[in-house]
Amino acid sequence: MTASLAESFSPHQDLARSLIPHASAGDDGSHDLAHIARVFKNAMRIHQHEGGDGRVLAAAVLLHDCVAVEKNSPLRNQASRLAAEKAAGILGEMGWSDTEIDAVSHAILTHSFSANLEPQTIEAKILQDADRLDAIGMIGAARCFYIAGRMGSALYDPADPLAKHRPLDDRTFAIDHFETKLFKLADGFKTQAGRQAANERHQRLKSVLDLFLDEI
Domain membership flag for residue 129? no
Same domain? For 152 and 96 the reply is no
Domain membership flag for residue 202? yes
Q: Which residues contact 86 (CB under 8 A, 6 or more apart)?
A: 22, 63, 66, 67
φ, ψ for residue 136, nearest 5 deg: -125, 175
Q: Which residues contact 187 (CB under 8 A, 6 or more apart)?
A: none
The domain that contains 87 carries what CATH number? 1.10.3210.50
Does residue 75 contact residue 159 with C-beta atoms inside 8 Å?
Answer: no
Same domain? For 97 and 171 the reply is no
In whole angstroms, give the CA distance from residue 178 to residue 160.
15
Task: Specify the amino acid at residue 206.
Answer: K
Residue that terminates a domain, selected from 123, 143, 170: 123
Half-sphere exposure of 45 (CA within 13 A, CB side): 17
Q: How many domains does the chain have?
A: 2
Same domain? For 8 and 96 the reply is yes
**Dihedral angle at the C-alpha atoms of 21, 22, 28, 33, nearest 10 degrees?**
-50
Same domain? For 115 and 197 the reply is no
Angle at CA 70, nearest 5°, toward 61 and 15? 20
The pLDDT profile of the chain, 216 residues, written as one tens digit per residue, is 556 888 999 999 999 999 999 987 777 888 899 999 999 999 999 999 999 999 999 999 999 999 877 666 666 678 889 999 999 999 999 999 999 999 999 999 999 887 788 999 999 999 999 999 999 999 999 999 999 999 999 999 999 999 999 999 999 999 999 999 999 999 999 999 999 999 999 999 999 999 999 999
Q: How far is CA 42 from CA 37, 78, 93, 150, in A?
A: 9, 24, 28, 26
Return the SS3 of 154.
strand
Q: How far is CA 119 from CA 108, 126, 183, 198, in A?
A: 9, 9, 21, 18
Q: Which residues contact 105 (CB under 8 A, 6 or more apart)?
A: 84, 85, 87, 88
How far separated are the first and last CA of the chain, in Å rounded?
40
Q: Which domain, by its residues, includes 27?
A: 1-123
Say what the pTM is: 0.91
What pLDDT, on a 0 to 100 scale, did the predictor assign at position 173?
A: 97
Same domain? For 3 and 54 the reply is yes
Question: For the segment 44-97, what is each residue's pLDDT rounded down to a tens digit?
Answer: 999 999 999 999 999 999 999 998 776 666 666 788 899 999 999 999 999 999
Same domain? For 44 and 87 the reply is yes
